[in-house]
Amino acid sequence: MLIQCLDDQVSLTVDSPQDAQALAEHLRADKTWLEVVAGINTVVVRFDAASMNARSAEHRVAAILENEIPPLPTQDRVLKIPVVYGGEYGPDLDELCQELGMTQDELVALHTGREYSVDMVGFTPGFAFIGGLDERLHVPRREQPRQRVAAGSVGIADGRTGIYALPSPGGWTLIGRTPFPLFDPQADEPFPVHAGTRIRFVSVAADAFSA
Under CATH, what is the fold of the domain 78-208?
A: Cyclophilin (2.40.100)
Residue 126: how many other CB atoms lie within 10 Å: 20
Q: What is the pLDDT of residue 71?
A: 78
Q: What's the longest Cα–Cα distance across the chain?
A: 60
112 φ, ψ (degrees, to nearest 5): -95, 0
Using DSSP, state whether 187 is helix, strand or coil: coil
Q: What is the pLDDT of residue 163?
A: 97
Q: What is the pLDDT of residue 171?
A: 95
Per-residue pLDDT of the chain (211 residues; tens, 9 = 90+): 778 887 889 999 988 888 888 898 889 888 889 999 888 888 999 999 888 888 899 889 988 888 888 877 777 789 999 999 999 999 999 999 999 999 999 999 999 999 999 999 988 889 999 999 999 999 999 999 999 999 999 999 999 999 999 999 999 999 999 999 999 888 888 898 988 899 999 999 998 877 7
Helices 54-65 and 17-28: crossing angle, nearest 10°? 110
Helices 104-112 and 93-100: crossing angle, nearest 10°? 100
Q: What is the pLDDT of residue 141?
A: 93
Dihedral of the alpha carbons of 192, 164, 130, 14, in degrees to the nearest 10: -90
Task: Tell which CATH architecture fits domain 2-65.
Answer: 2-Layer Sandwich (3.30)
Q: What is the pLDDT of residue 2?
A: 77
Q: What is the pLDDT of residue 188?
A: 85
The DSSP annotation for 150-162 comes to -TTEEEEETTEEE
Question: What does pTM read for this prediction?
Answer: 0.83
CA angle 137, 140, 144 (to 5 degrees): 130
CB 35 within 8 A of CB 48: no
Domain residue ranges in the chain: 2-65, 78-208
